Amino acid sequence: MSTVILIPARKGSSRIKNKNIIKLGRLPLISYTFKLAQELDFADKVFLSTNCEKTMNLAKKYSFNNQYKRPEKFASKFSTDFEWITDSIRYLEKKNQYFENFIILRPTSPFRKVNTIKRAFNLFNRKNCHSLRAVRLCNEHPNKMWQIKSNFLKPLINIQINGQPGHSNPYQKLPKIYVQDSSLEICKTKNLYKFKNISGKKIIPFIMPYYEGFDINFPEDLAMASNILKKLK
């Protein structure tokens, strides 16, 4: 069962400048993902999708020396995963490299463990599914979210629980709602052609341990990540 690891690292970030190569501890952020990918021996190939020369040069230090450079039309802040992934898979297929599955490891989750990814991959293989996605219980419940319409608050979700509006119930009485994080996605390549998306229809959950699913998107996240790194040493 052939599998390729895809590491997306487009140049530019509106919230953290040069996010993928910014230092976390002694290493550039993306180095943690490169090191993880090196240790995932069940994968047949690691493929970097980037339009950043600095990132491509850094990848060579980890023996990831593919010459692919992501087209700029798939590297904007509005570009979808489907676009860059499809372009990457087609690039590989033109070189007669075909993969049944692909794993997305984004550089913004630096604390994932090898055994956790292997456990997720084994689960994916055992289940009749199109994809697996890392999720966690949401902290801010959608039953307590609102929209403003005509200057009045309207609940985003209008349900009754025990005769009371959902927003007036304690968290413990609300339905369990999960939010995706960016730490891991495992997908069948045929999704791209059959469903025109990366996930398909049968998506199984994988509960990622908290700090392994930690995602760096804002400057304050980087500070928190530095603290986590110190605790893990």
**Residue 141 token pair:** 């419940």
Angstrom distance (rounded) from CA 103 to CA 121:
9
- pLDDT in the model for residue 17: 83
**Residue 108 token pair:** 């913004």
DSSP string, 148-182: EETTEEEESS--EETTEEGGGS-GGGSPP-EEEEE
- pLDDT in the model for residue 56: 94
Angstrom distance (rounded) from CA 50 to CA 41:
23
**In which residue ranges of the chain is pLDDT below 50?**
none
Residue ranges, CATH 3.90.550.10, the chain: 3-135+180-232
Evaluate whether 4 touches 92 at the Cβ level (below 8 Å).
yes
Phi, psi of 5 (to 5 degrees): -90, 125
First to last CA, the chain: 35
Report pLDDT digits (tens) over 156-191: 999 999 899 999 999 999 999 999 999 999 999 999
- pLDDT in the model for residue 73: 94
In the CATH hierarchy, which top-level class contains the domain 3-135+180-232? alpha beta
- pTM of the predicted model as reported, rounded to 2 decimal places: 0.93
